[in-house]
Structure 1
Amino acid sequence: MKLREVQAILEAEVFTGADKLDLEVEAGFGSDLMSDVLAFACSRVLLLTGLTNAHVIHTATMIDAAAIVFVRGKRPDKNLINAAANLGLPLLGTRLLMYDSCGRLFQAGLKGCSREAGDDQAATSSWESKQKQEGKEAGTLPHGAMPAGRERSVGVLRGRVSPGRSYWRYRKTCLERPEWLP
Structure 2
Amino acid sequence: MPHVLVLNASYEPLGVVPLRRALILVLNGKATSLEDSGALMHSATQAIPAPSVVRLKRFVRVPFRGTVPLTRRALFARDGGRCVYCGGVATSVDHVVPRSRGGQHSWDNVVAACRRCNHMKADRHVSELGWRMRHQPAPPTGLAWRIIGTGHRDPRWLPYLRPYGAEEALARIDGRTPA
TM-score, length basis structure 2: 0.25
Q: Which has the higher Rg, Structure 1 or Structure 2?
A: 2
Structure in which a larger fraction of residues adopt helix = 1
Structure in which a larger fraction of residues adopt strand = 2
